[in-house]
Amino acid sequence: MNFRGIKSWQWILMAIALLAAIDWAIQRPDPRTRELNQALATQASQKLRDYPYPFQVIRVEGDTAVMGTPRNFDMPAFRMLGVLYPDINVKDANNPAFIAVERLLGQVQDEAKDIVLAQPGIKQVRWELDRNWLQRKGIEVPVKP
């Protein structure tokens, strides 16, 4: 094969394709993670399927499923809910609309956890802040400790 006939832009294009394939292979979830996410997709209620945050398993560590979440102690629910529901006053903890969307978040998160815990070999769920999703939504994410 004569590589001298390949132009420099073609080399660049091949390098970009190779890097994209390597990145995909690295970030692709393992089979167990894909299996758990498939269970989430097929067993979720309509309420969970329609929720604006896609609850998913990020990885499996032994008998623990690590799941993404848009909230934790560093990222209070009102910050992300304010972006998802801009018409609701999330600064007023007594606002019935805010209470309703906060309760809905808890319900769908619990449902996602319960589906994963019902799968063979999974004994616990650990939540991990989904920094990438939050950043894509324009939500300022606290610096990792």
Under 8 Å between Cβ of 81 and 98: yes
**For residue 27, which amino acid is it?**
Q
- β-partners of residue 124 are 64
Measured distance CA(93)–CA(101) in Å, rounded: 11
Sheet holding 57-61, edge to edge: 57-61, 64-69, 124-129
User: How much of the chain exceeds pLDDT 70, in percent?
Assistant: 90
Is the model's pLDDT at 1 over the cut of 80? no
pLDDT at res. 66 = 97
Question: Which of these, 77, 71, 103, lies nearest to 90 by C-alpha position?
Answer: 77
**Structural domain boundaries in the chain:** 30-136
